[in-house]
Structure 1
Amino acid sequence: MGSQRTVRAIVVSLVITAVTAAAVLFLGFDRHAAGDGGALVSYNTVDMRAQMLKNGDLRITQTFDYRLRPRGTPWRQMFQQYTLSSDRVTSISDISIKDLTTGRVYTQDTTVHSPGGYDDYGWNSECAGRWYIADITRSQTDPEPYHAELDALTPTAVGEPKQAKDVEIGWNIPSTASANSMRFELSMTWHGVSTAYDDVVALEWEPFSAFNATPAARVTGTFTFPEGIGESNSWAWLHTGAASETTRGDDGSLRFTVTDLPSGEYINVVVMTERRPDSAVARTQAGAMKRRILNQEQREAQIADDDRRRRARGRIVMWSIPAVLALILAVAALIGAQRACAQARKATEGFVYWREPPDMSPAAAAALITDVMPGIQGAVGDRQMTSTLLSLVTKGAVAVYPGSAAGYRGIDLSRADCVSVGQLIASDPRREADAADMCTLVIMPRVYTDRAGLRLCRSESALLDVLLRASERVGLPVFDFSQMQAALKDWRQGYAWLRGFEDACNAEYQALHATVPVGAGARVLGMLAMVVSALTALIYTGVYGQIALALVISLPLLFASAFAMSVSPRQALTPQGEAYAGQVAGLMRYMEDFSEFSDRGVFDTVLWGRYMVYAAAFGISDKLMEQMERAYPQLADPQWVDAHASNDGLVYWSARRNRAMRSRGSGIHFVFGGAAGGGSFGSMVSSSFSSVGSTIRDAMPQSSASGSRSGSRRSGGGGSFRSGGFKGHSGGSGGGRGGAR
C-alpha cells in the first residue's frame, strides 16, 4: 500500500476515531449524569436497613440523599408516603428524622404546614426543622392527624375483610433554591408486617411502590433476621425490574443493590422464615404456606426469566442490525482499498535507475512523481512552477542572478557572465547580504527575437508569458521578485495568466495518459461505513445507554472505515504510465544515490542543469546538491567552479552555495498566492460493560447457558437471594413513595 500512505491513513483514522470517542464519552457521561430523566427532585442514593423483630415488626432506618434542581420557587418540604393495611402493616411508630448534612435532629410538629403559605423568613423561623405524620387517605391537601397507637389498624388474616389508610411522614427543611446533595435519615418501626403460618413466617417489604415518582440513581438495602434465623432456615426474593444484585451476609442477612431505579418501578422484598416455637408474631393464619410461596416465586422467576430473555434477544437484534451494516460496508471498503492499492503498487515496484532526463516536461514530471511516490515534499503546484522556471533558465529564455535589481543598476545583465557577477558580489559585503535575500530575473533578448528557437514546451511557454506580462507592468526586462510582487499586486487579469500556466501543466500531464482513476468505490463505501459506524455509536450511547457497545463495536469499525477511505489511492498507472513512472522514479533514485556510482563520468554542466530542473520537480534539490558535492569535491574550489561551471548559471550559482537563489527559486509562486518554501468515567464504562455482558448471557437459550448466572436465574425462585432480582409481583407492605415540595 505504500508505507507513507499507510502511516498517513493510520494517523487520519486515529484522529477521526479519537474525536468520535470523545463525543461518545461526553454523550455517555451526560446521559449517565442525567439518569434521573431530568426530574426536579431525585435521589442520588438511598440506603435502607430493616431489622425483623421477633414479633414480626420491622425496625427500619432509611437514608435519603436528595438532589433538588432549581424550579423558580424554593424547596421546603420532604415527604414519604406509606399505605397501612390490616393484613400488611398496621401502624408506624418510633419515628425520628435527622439532617445528616447539618447534624440537626428534627422535632415533631402536630401541624402540617403548607409550604406555599410563608415567605422564606417565616418558614425558616416557624416551620423548618420539624416533622409530622398525618393521615392523607381522604385528602393530601387537607390531611388529618394521625396517632400511632390510637389510629393503628387491627391485624386481620389474608383473605379476611381488611382496613387500609394512607399516611405521610414529612419534614420541613429550610427554604432551598437547589441542592446537589441533602442527606436525611428517617427511622421508624412498622407494626404487624409479618404473618405466621403453621410452617413459616412470611412478610413482604415494599419501600418503593409502582406509584413512586422519584427516581433513584442507586438504592442499597440490608435486611437482618432475629437471632436463630439464618440462611439455612430462611428464604428471600427481590422483586424489581431495575438492574439489581443480591447477596447473603455471613449472618444470613439479605443485601441488595438496585441501580438506576426509574419512577414507576417498585422494589419488593419477599421474606419467609421457618416458624419457631417461640414465635411472637401477632397475625396468625392456619395452614402451611412454604410450598405455595416457593412455587409462586419459582413461577414468577421463570416468567421473568423468559421475558428478560426475549427482551435481551430483541435488544441484541436491534444492536446487531446497524453493526452488521457497518461491518459489511467496512469490509467491502477494505477489500476495495486493498485492490486499489495492489493495482497502484503493482506498477510502482522494481524501478531501476534512469540516468537521462525523462521524456516529459518538468511540470508533468512533478505531477507524475506525486502519483507514483506519495509523500513527495512540497505542493505539486509549487514544484511545477519552480522546475519550469529553472527549465527556462537552462534553455536561455531567462536568467536569474542573486540580489535585488537595484544592486545591478548600470550593468547589462543580459550580457553579463556569471564569473564577473560572482566576483562583484564577493568583493562587496553589502552585495553579499543583498544576494542572500533577493533574486533578480532577466528576460533574455532571444525571447523577443527568436522565441521559436528556444523550443519551449507548452507549460514553459505559458510561464514565460506570465513573466513577460510582469515585465511589462514593471516596465523593464530586468526586475527582482519584490518589484514583481508589487507590480502584480493589483493585477486583476493575473489569475487568468496563472490559470493558463496551470492548464498547460494539466494538459501536458493528461497527454501522457499515465494514470487511470482507482479506489472511488472504496472511498464511497468507506465514507458510508464511517457514517453508519458513527451513527451506530451515537445510537448505542444516546438511545440504549450502552457506551461499551460503542467502544468495542462502533469505534473499531469507524477506524477500519476511515482507514479504508484514507489509504485508497486515487490513481493507478496505465501500461504506458508504467514506462514514464520508471523514468521519473528511476531518475529520482539515481539523483539521490549519484555519489555512489563509479561510472558517473566527467562533470557535464548541461546535464547537471537539467538534473537540477527535475530535482526541483521531485522536491529533492538539496539532496541533489549533496550528491553532486560528494561526487565532485572540486566544486568546493571557487577557481575550478569559475573555469568549469560558468557556462550554466543555474549550476554555477548552485555550486557556489547561493542559498538565496535556491530558496527563492519558487518565489514567483509567492506573488500569486502564498509562499512556496520553504458521576466518574471509570465507573460508567465498567457499569456499561457489565450490562452488555448480562444482556448477551440472558439471550442464550437455557440449554446453552453454562455460566453460574444462568443457573442462578433458573433457580431464582429458590429463595437463596444470590441470583439477583426479577420482575415478580408488587404490592408488599408499605408501598412507599416519596418526593419533595
Structure 2
Amino acid sequence: MGQAEQDQTPLDDAFNVPGEPSALTEPSDGKASAPDINYGADSAQDTGAAGPTGDAGPAPEGKRGSRALSWDVKRFIRSLLIALATVLILAGLFSAFSTHLPDLSYNAVDYDVTVLPNGDLKIKERIDMKMLSREGNTPWRQLYQRYNINPGNLTGISDISLYDVDQDLNYRQTEPIDPDQVQKKSARSWDLEEANRWYIGQVDGESIKDYQYRQPLNGVDPTGDSCQTGGSSCQVEIGWNIFDLTDADSKVFELTMTMHGVSTAYDDVTAFQWEPIGQINEIPVGKVTGVVHLPKGASGSNSKAWLHYTGPSRNWRGADGSVHFEASQVSPGQYLDLRVTMDRSLTGDVPRTGQGRAGQRIADEEDNQERQWHQRQVLKARLILAAWALAAILVLGLCVLAIRAAFSSFRRTRYSGPILYWRQAPDMSPAAAAALDCTINGDKKKALRSRQMASTVLSLAAKEVISIYPGPVKTYAGMDMLQASERDLAQAASSSVSHLHRSERTSTIVIRPVAYGDTNVLGLSASQQAALAMLKHAGESLNSRVFDLKQMGESYKEDDDGGKLLEAFDDAAAAEFGSLAATTENGINGILEVLGMVAGIGLWALAKMSGQILLGGVCGAVLITVCAFARSYGASTVLSDEGQSWAGRICGLRNYLLDYSSFSDRGVEYLPLWEDYLVYATALGISKEAMRQLALAVPQVTDASWLDNYASGLVYWSYRPYEFGGSWFGEGGVAAVSGLPGFSDFSDLGNQLTGGFSQIQSTISAASGSSGSGGFGGFSGGSGGGSFGGR
C-alpha cells in the first residue's frame, strides 16, 4: 500500500469494514469490553494525520497505558554501571597525572634511642626503603643520611654500624667515594670492590672527604680537623654501598650511631632537642615511630617531652619514663624533632652547660608554642570544615539538580498523551518511524540503522518494487523468479532452506522491472529511493537482478561507492526524520552534567592541595558519579510538542501490534493491512512479536495450504512453513543490509588510607578545640637536622 495512498484512506475504509464502531471489543473469552478507547482516526472525516479524535479511554485489561514512564530499570542499572566505571577511570587518570611517585622513599623508619649518662644519644634505627626503577635503568648503588655538626647541639657522630637485614650481613667500613664517581664503575667492579660497605664523610661542596670523630678539646666544639668546612660547623654523610639494584619495594637496614654533644646541662635540668628529620630532607617517609629511653630514674614527674611535627602524630610516656612517638606521612620539607627536659640529677658530667635554671622557661616556651599552634589549627580546621560543609551542600544541590534533570529529560523522550492505540501506519517513512522509536526508547544508533534499512527494504517489497525470498540464490537455480508462482518458490525453499548451514542462511532479492522505470510514479520517499539505489548498484556489480544478501555484501567489500550509497541513505533518513520536527535538543542538562564532572575533578585537586584527601575525594567522587549517571540516564534529545503528537501514533501502533490478538474482531479480512504493519513492526523492532500476535488472532496463517490459496506477498512469505526457524526478513534477514561497508605519595594504599582517616580525625578534633596528645608545630633546628638520599 503506497504511503500517499494510505494517508488519504479513512480508517473504516482502510480496514474494509464499513460502519465499524469506534471502540473495539475485547476477546470473546469473558473479559469485559473496553469502551471509548481511542484507536486513531475513527471516522471518514479524520484521516489520522492530525492526531486523535475524542478522549482516550482505558486500555484492555492487563494492557499497557499511555502515561510517560519516568523510570526504566534496565536504563538505570546500565547508567549506574557507566557512572561507576567513569569515576573509577577518572580517579585512576587523576592519580596517574597528579601523583608523582619519588624514585626513593622510606616505607617506614623506627628509632630506638638511649640517652647516655653524659647526655649523648645512642641511636638505632630500622629503615624500610623503597626504590623505583629510574630513567635509563640506572641502578641504585648508594644510600645515605646527612646530619649537621654544630657546636650548639651536635659535636660529632661515632660508633657507626650498618646491618643489612635482607642479607643478614654486617657491612664493613670503607672510605667515601665522590658522588660523581659512583655510577662510573662497572657493575662487576662495584659489586666486588664497593658493595656491602658503609662510610662516613664530610660533605665538601660536590665532593665528600674522610671524616673521623675526635673528642672536642673543650668538650663542646668540634676539632678543626674533624669539621673543617665552615669553621666549627659542617655536614657529614653516613652512607652505605649496596649491590647494583634496579628497584625494590622493600629493602631493610639497621643503622646505629652515637650522637655526641647533644644535651645541655642547666642548674635544674638537662635538655636536648633531637631532630632526626630536618627541613632540608627531600625523601618522603610513610611512617615514623620511636622510643627514647631516658636515664634510670626518669619518670613523668621529673622529665617532660614535646614532639614537634605538623602532620598526623601522637606521643605518650611509658611506665619506665620512656618517651614514645608516632608520625605518618612525612613529606619533603616537613621536619620532626623531639625536645626533652629531665632533672639534672639523672645525668652525670654533661660537657655543655648553661647558666641558671631553664626547666620552667623551656616548659613555658613549649606551652606557648603549643597553645598558639592549636589556636591556629582550630581556626584553620573550622574554616576547612566550613568550606567542605559548604562544598558538600553545593555538591548535594548539584546532584539533586542533575538527577532531576536526568529523570525529567528521560520523561520528555516518552509519549505522555492520551492515545493508547493507533491502528493506521503513521504518516512518515519507515526510516523516520525507526528514528523516532529509537528516540523514545533510547535504543543505540547501531540498532537504529539496522532497523531503518530493514524496514525500508521491506517497504520496497510491499510496494512490489522488489521481491524478497528466503535462502541463498542457489535455492532457486533454474527458476524464473519473475514468472514462477509463490507456491512453486515456497516448495523450492522448503526443500533446501531447512538443510542449509546457519552461516549460509540469507535472503534472495529480486529487483522487479518497475524499479528501472520512472520511480517517481511509485511514490517512494528519499530513503526508499536511496535503499533502492543500493540494491540496484549491487545488481549491476553482480551483473544480475537476482542475488542474495551475502553476494550483495561481498560485492560491496571493495567498492568505494558502497560507503557513499550508505551515507546517502543515512542522510535521507535523517532528513525525513528532521522534517517531522519531532525532537529538540536538551543541551543545558548535558552542560550541567559535564560541568559537574569537571567540578568533581576540581574538588579532587583542591583536596590534594589542602591535604583533605578523603573529604575532597568523597565529595568529588559522589559528584562525578551522580553527574555521569545523569549524563547516561538523561537524554540530550527530547520530544518537542509536535513530537508528542507523532510519538502518540508510534507508541499507539506499537501497542496495537503487540496487543492485536486481544481484539476478537480482527479477522482474515484485515490481512491486506499487515504488509504495512510488518514494515513498521520491523522499524519498531517488534516484527517477531507482531507476527506472533497475528498468528494468535488469525490462526489460518500457520496453515501452509491456506496460505498457498489465499495469501501473497510479505504475509505469505512470513508464515509459509519452511522450517527455517522463524521470520527470515526482519532483524535477522534484511537487517543484514545494514552491515554494508562505509563505516600515591607513599609506599602503599594502606598507608594512604590510614593517613587519610587520621587526617579527618585530626581535623575534627582540632575544630572542636581539643589538643589531644599529638605533636605540634614548634620551632625546628634540633640536633642532627637529618636528611636522606640515594645514588
TM-score by length of 1: 0.79
Q: Look up the SS of the partner of 1:612 in the other structure.
A: helix
Change over 3 Å in CA distance of 1:568–1:62 after alignment to 2? closer
Q: CA deviation at 1:352?
A: 1.0
For residues 336 and 285 of structure 1, what CA distance do their matches in structure 2 show?
A: 73
What is the CA deviation profile of residues 708-727 of structure 1, one whole-angstrom value per residue up to 9, with x for unaligned ones?
A: xx3226xxxxxxxxx22222
Partner in structure 2 of residue 528 of structure 1: 595
For residues 136 and 532 of structure 1, what CA distance do their matches in structure 2 show?
A: 49
Residues 1:648 and 2:713 are matched in the alignment:
yes
Q: CA deviation at 1:606?
A: 0.9
What is the CA deviation profile of residues 488-544 of structure 1, one whole-angstrom value per residue up to 9, with x for unaligned ones?
A: 66665555555554444344433433x231321111222233234235435645x56
Partner in structure 2 of residue 390 of structure 1: 458
What is the CA deviation profile of residues 191-220 of structure 1, one whole-angstrom value per residue up to 9, with x for unaligned ones?
A: 67242434x443333334445566544332
Partner in structure 1 of residue 18 of structure 2: none
Residues 1:224 and 2:293 are matched in the alignment:
yes
Partner in structure 2 of residue 52 of structure 1: 115
Conserved 8 A contact 2:475-2:496:
no
User: Which of 331, 334, 337 is 1:268 aligned to?
Assistant: 337
User: Which of 587, 602, 605 is 2:668 aligned to?
Assistant: 602
Q: CA deviation at 1:419?
A: 1.9
Residues 1:588 and 2:651 are matched in the alignment:
no
For residues 107 and 287 of structure 1, what CA distance do their matches in structure 2 show?
A: 45
Conserved 8 A contact 2:567-2:742:
no
Conserved 8 A contact 2:111-2:123:
yes
For residues 10 and 527 of structure 1, what CA distance do their matches in structure 2 show?
A: 16
Residues 1:516 and 2:566 are matched in the alignment:
no
Q: Look up the SS of the partner of 1:411 in the other structure.
A: coil
Change over 3 Å in CA distance of 1:495–1:334 after alignment to 2? same
Map 1:224-263 to 2 at 5 A: 224-262=293-331
Change over 3 Å in CA distance of 1:248–1:469 after alignment to 2? same
Conserved 8 A contact 1:97-1:187:
no
Map 1:630-709 to 2 at 5 A: 630-645=696-711, 647-656=712-721, 658=724, 659=726, 660-662=728-730, 663-671=732-740, 673=742, 679-695=747-763, 698=766, 700=767, 705=768
Partner in structure 1 of residue 274 of structure 2: 205
For residues 790 and 699 of structure 2, what CA distance do their matches in structure 1 show?
A: 92
For residues 27 and 505 of structure 1, what CA distance do their matches in structure 2 show?
A: 44
Residues 1:413 and 2:473 are matched in the alignment:
no
Partner in structure 1 of residue 4 of structure 2: none
Residues 1:16 and 2:83 are matched in the alignment:
no
Partner in structure 1 of residue 42 of structure 2: none
Opposite residue 531 of structure 1, the aligned amino acid is V
Conserved 8 A contact 1:81-1:736:
yes
Opposite residue 707 of structure 2, the aligned amino acid is V
Q: CA deviation at 1:294?
A: 2.0
Q: Look up the SS of the partner of 1:355 in the other structure.
A: coil
Change over 3 Å in CA distance of 1:467–1:697 after alignment to 2? same
Conserved 8 A contact 2:413-2:439:
no
What is the CA deviation profile of residues 323-366 of structure 1, one whole-angstrom value per residue up to 9, with x for unaligned ones?
A: 89877766655454444334444x33665123333333323322
Q: Look up the SS of the partner of 1:14 in the other structure.
A: helix
User: Which of 366, 370, 390 is 1:301 aligned to?
Assistant: 370
Q: Look up the SS of the partner of 2:321 in the other structure.
A: coil
Map 1:473-488 to 2 at 5 A: 474-485=542-553
Q: CA deviation at 1:693?
A: 4.4
Q: CA deviation at 1:6?
A: 3.7
Q: CA deviation at 1:238?
A: 1.1
For residues 122 and 491 of structure 1, what CA distance do their matches in structure 2 show?
A: 66
Map 1:381-460 to 2 at 5 A: 381-426=449-494, 428-429=495-496, 433=500, 437-445=505-513, 454-460=522-528
Map 1:305-324 to 2 at 5 A: 305-308=374-377
For residues 591 and 363 of structure 2, what CA distance do their matches in structure 1 show?
A: 60
Q: Indicate the larger mover: 229-238 or 3-12.
A: 3-12
Change over 3 Å in CA distance of 1:539–1:27 after alignment to 2? farther
Partner in structure 2 of residue 561 of structure 1: 627
Q: Look up the SS of the partner of 1:604 in the other structure.
A: helix
Change over 3 Å in CA distance of 1:518–1:57 after alignment to 2? same
For residues 455 and 492 of structure 2, what CA distance do their matches in structure 1 show?
A: 28
Opposite residue 251 of structure 1, the aligned amino acid is D
Structure 2: tracts of 5 or more residues without a match: 1-69, 223-230
Partner in structure 2 of residue 717 of structure 1: none
User: Which of 614, 617, 622 is 2:680 aligned to?
Assistant: 614
Conserved 8 A contact 2:290-2:324:
yes
Conserved 8 A contact 2:286-2:751:
no
Change over 3 Å in CA distance of 1:274–1:629 after alignment to 2? same
Opposite residue 530 of structure 1, the aligned amino acid is M
Residues 1:711 and 2:774 are matched in the alignment:
no
For residues 285 and 385 of structure 1, what CA distance do their matches in structure 2 show?
A: 97
User: Which of 339, 349, 359 is 1:290 aligned to?
Assistant: 359
User: Which of 55, 61, 75 is 2:124 aligned to?
Assistant: 61
Residues 1:726 and 2:771 are matched in the alignment:
no
For residues 504 and 134 of structure 1, what CA distance do their matches in structure 2 show?
A: 83
Conserved 8 A contact 2:437-2:684:
yes
Change over 3 Å in CA distance of 1:400–1:239 after alignment to 2? closer
Change over 3 Å in CA distance of 1:460–1:18 after alignment to 2? same
Opposite residue 601 of structure 2, the aligned amino acid is A
- How many residues align? The count is 696
Change over 3 Å in CA distance of 1:75–1:443 after alignment to 2? closer
For residues 6 and 622 of structure 1, what CA distance do their matches in structure 2 show?
A: 26
Conserved 8 A contact 1:325-1:532:
no
Conserved 8 A contact 2:283-2:331:
yes
Opposite residue 14 of structure 1, the aligned amino acid is L
Q: Look up the SS of the partner of 2:509 in the other structure.
A: strand
Q: Look up the SS of the partner of 1:379 in the other structure.
A: helix
Conserved 8 A contact 2:155-2:216:
no
For residues 169 and 414 of structure 1, what CA distance do their matches in structure 2 show?
A: 99
For residues 449 and 173 of structure 1, what CA distance do their matches in structure 2 show?
A: 92
Q: Look up the SS of the partner of 2:340 in the other structure.
A: strand
Q: Look up the SS of the partner of 1:223 in the other structure.
A: strand
For residues 142 and 735 of structure 2, what CA distance do their matches in structure 1 show?
A: 76
Conserved 8 A contact 2:160-2:255:
no
Q: CA deviation at 1:409?
A: 4.8
What is the CA deviation profile of residues 456-476 of structure 1, one whole-angstrom value per residue up to 9, with x for unaligned ones?
A: 455445544554555455555
What is the CA deviation profile of residues 282-301 of structure 1, one whole-angstrom value per residue up to 9, with x for unaligned ones?
A: 46666443332221111111
For residues 711 and 312 of structure 1, what CA distance do their matches in structure 2 show?
A: 11
Conserved 8 A contact 2:413-2:635:
yes
Map 1:98-109 to 2 at 5 A: 98-105=163-170
Conserved 8 A contact 2:265-2:344:
no
Q: CA deviation at 1:589?
A: 1.7
Conserved 8 A contact 1:46-1:216:
yes
Conserved 8 A contact 2:266-2:357:
no
Change over 3 Å in CA distance of 1:286–1:509 after alignment to 2? closer
Q: CA deviation at 1:104?
A: 4.0
For residues 619 and 164 of structure 2, what CA distance do their matches in structure 1 show?
A: 46
Opposite residue 20 of structure 1, the aligned amino acid is L
